Amino acid sequence: MDLDVLNMFVIAGGTLAIPILAFVASFLLWPSALIRIYYWYWRRALGMQVRYANYDDYQFCYSYRGRPGYRPSILMLHGFSAHKDMWLSIVKFLPKNLHLVCVDMPGHEGTTRSALDDYSISGQAKRIHQFVECIKLNRRPFHLVGTSMGGNVAGVYAAQYPEDICSLTLICPAGLPSTTDSKFIKQLRELQESERIDRIPLIPSTPEEMADMLKLCSYVRFKVPQQILQGLVDVRIPHNDFYRKLFLEIADEKSRHSLHENMSKIKAPTQVIWGRQDQVLDVSGASVLASAIPDCHMYILENCGHSVVVERPRKTANLILEFLALLHSTDNNKKQA
């Protein structure tokens, strides 16, 4: 074989080997870096852009796609210890001409974390209102979506700032009393009795605890490699002290039933989506909402746990779109009448 041709194959092989070796090294040695790259890639692939907004000395980090149009913008509020990128699985199934905004909740990811901040549910709702005013999202009423802790904040926001929103989607929201204790609530009581409240199941610090948390939150059993579990833990460990403080804040009497206390003030058309097999927040909470909110559309997803956004993203996206289409059709009929 000609020496130049041989050199060409060697160079080509070396060029291909570098990214492969980099991937393998990242997977084995720095799985947390691989997870960050994963979210960065999917944001770019889905056309989501990251921006920052400032309210005095407070900074909000958010991602968005599209521009405000004739259809309502959609603001999404994530759950406890998550971040704006948790919505990417849903964004994938939403039309690109919709204006979508996903914000990091107070103290999470790129949004300011301050020891002096009020992390109660009403305090978080106030912060989200500041964010909305910063980016002028409330020039027209928008559709608000929240899941778990974010669902609690979304419901309180709808009650406190009714002029801002046109409709509301609550996905297995916190902040409600339930007639049946979930597995998570039972675990918390056991930990309190044994005085081991520092071992909160939603705040893992080892790969084994991370695997247990995923089993608690999901009905679908995801097979997650040990390296990825380690990466997920590595990403969270620097924030665990904050998560513990936040959990105690939202579990306090001031916030524990915030959504329930504000239900009568919610006037916007409301959609409730819940996983039948939710082990974190019992599905009986859906009936509590449906009986208290006049214009409430309830959807219970079979074979689905607390992580509705991850387990059933296509179904959830379709339900939101169908709900918005129904409201649009109803508005048109009222105008024609």
Q: What is the pLDDT of residues 46-92, one digit of tens each?
A: 999 999 999 999 999 999 999 998 899 999 999 999 999 999 999 99
Pairing status of strand 142-147 against strand 165-171: parallel
Domain total for the chain?
Answer: 1
Residue 41 lies in a domain: no
Burial class from Cβ neighbours inside 10 Å (0-12, 13-18, 19+) for residue 111 reads buried
The lowest-confidence range among 4-18, 77-91, 99-113, 138-152 is 4-18
With cut-offs at 50, 70 and 90, classify the pLDDT of residue 244. Answer: very high
Residue 238 lies in a domain: yes
Q: What is the pLDDT of residues 2-11, one digit of tens each?
A: 444 444 433 4
With cut-offs at 50, 70 and 90, classify the pLDDT of residue 21. Answer: very low
In degrees, rounded to 5, the angle at the alpha carbon of residue 240 between the alpha carbons of residues 120 and 226 is: 135
Q: What pLDDT, on a 0 to 100 scale, did the predictor assign at position 279?
A: 97
Residue 283: CATH number of its domain: 3.40.50.1820
Per the prediction, the chain carries an average pLDDT of: 89
Residue 61 lies in a domain: yes
Phi, psi (rounded to 5 degrees) for 70: -75, -25
Residue ranges of alpha helices (H) inside the chain are: 3-29, 31-45, 88-91, 121-134, 149-160, 183-193, 207-217, 226-236, 240-251, 258-262, 284-292, 308-311, 313-336
Q: What pLDDT, on a 0 to 100 scale, did the predictor assign at position 26?
A: 39
Q: Assess contact for 118 and 189: CB atoms under 8 A.
A: no
With cut-offs at 50, 70 and 90, classify the pLDDT of residue 282. Answer: very high
Q: What pLDDT, on a 0 to 100 scale, did the predictor assign at position 193?
A: 74
Q: What pLDDT, on a 0 to 100 scale, did the predictor assign at position 17?
A: 43
Q: Which residues of 249-274 are buried (b: 16+ CB within 10 A; e: fewer)?
A: bbeeeebbbbbbbbbeebebbbbbbb
d(CA 247, CA 129): 21
Q: What pLDDT, on a 0 to 100 scale, did the predictor assign at position 208?
A: 94
Positions marked catalytic: 148, 278, 306
Top-ranked range on mean pLDDT: pick from 144-148, 191-195, 247-251, 291-295? 144-148
Residue 22 lies in a domain: no
Q: Is the model more confident about 217 or about 330?
A: 217
Share of the chain above pLDDT 90, in %: 73
Residue 8 lies in a domain: no
Residue 2 lies in a domain: no
Going by C-alpha positions, the residue among 138, 200, 192, 147 that lies closest to residue 174 is: 147
Q: What pLDDT, on a 0 to 100 scale, did the predictor assign at position 25?
A: 39
Residue 153 lies in a domain: yes
The full 3-state SS of 209-269, as one line of letters, equals HHHHHHHHHCCCCCCCCHHHHHHHHHHHHHHHHHHHHHHHHHHCCCCCCHHHHHHHHCCCC
Residue 31 lies in a domain: no
Residues 49, 237, 76, 140, Cα dihedral to 10°: -70
Q: Range of 244's domain? A: 47-336
Residues 135, 136, 142, 146, Cα dihedral to 10°: 30
